[in-house]
Amino acid sequence: MIVYISGVNDNPFSPYPSYMRVLMNCVAFALCFSNKTLFAILYFFSFFCDGLDGWFARKFNQVSTFGAVLDMITDRVSTACLLALLSQLYRPGLIFLSLLGLDIASHWLQMYSSFLSGKTSHKDVKDKSNWLLKAYYGQRLFMAFCCSGSEVLYIILFLLAGNQSESVLDVCLNAMKQSSLLSLILCLTLIGWGIKQVVNIIQMKTAADSCVFYDMKRSR
C-alpha cells in the first residue's frame, strides 16, 4: 500500500511504501488456522494493494530500487508461506514445495542476471527472444491475470482444505461438482496459474543462460 505524505519534498503526491502489506500478511498468517475467512481477506487485500502500489509509483514517477526489491521480497515471502501451508494440508505436499522452489529460483536467477546485464529492473526482458516471457512482462493486464489467478487459486485451496490431509485433485473435483460458479473460477485461475508456471520455467532457463553467457564473455 502507498501512503501519500505532503511536505516531504516538492511533490505533494510523493508515494512512500508504508509496510502495510507486511503487517497485513503477518496478521493474516497469525490467524490462518483460527479464522480462515479473515486470512483470505487480508491476504488478498495485501495482494491487491501490491498492484495499486506499482500503479501509483509509475503514475507519479516515484519508482525506486528499494521499493522494487521490497515489493519482490514481500511477494515471494507471502507466496512461499502460503505454499508451505498448503504442503501440510494436501497430499502430495511435494507439489507445493516444488512450486515454492520454482518460484524462488526463477525470480532469484532473473534478478541476478538482470543485475549482471546492468538493467534496473528484472521485468526488462526486451532483449529476450521468448515471446511468452516478453508478453508476460510487457502486457501488465496479462501479467495481472496470471498472478491473480495463481494467488486466488492458492487461497481457494486453503479455504477448501479440511482438517485432515487430502488429495488436492480430489478436493478440486468435488468442489467443481458442487458449484458451477466455483468451477468457472477454478478453471480461470488454473489457466492463469498454469501460464505463470510456464513463464517461471522459461524465465529460469533464460536467466541461467544469461549468467553463462556473462561468464563466457568475461573469460575472453
Catalytic residues: 75
Residue 123: DSSP 8-state: T
- CA triplet 165, 186, 142: central angle to 5 degrees? 125
Backbone angles phi, psi at 117, to 5 degrees: -85, -5
What's the CA gap between 36 and 56, in Å, rounded? 30
Task: Kindly give the pairing relationship between strand 90-91 and strand 166-167.
Answer: parallel
Q: Is 136 exposed, middle or buried (0-12, 13-18, 19+ CB in 10 A)?
A: buried
Give, rounded to a whole angstrom, the gap between the first and last alpha carbons of the chain: 46
Task: Kindly give the pairing relationship between strand 2-4 and strand 15-17.
Answer: antiparallel
46-50: which pairs have CB atoms within 8 A and are 24 or more residues apart?
46/20, 46/21, 46/78, 47/78, 47/148, 47/151, 49/1, 49/20, 49/21, 49/24, 50/21, 50/74, 50/75
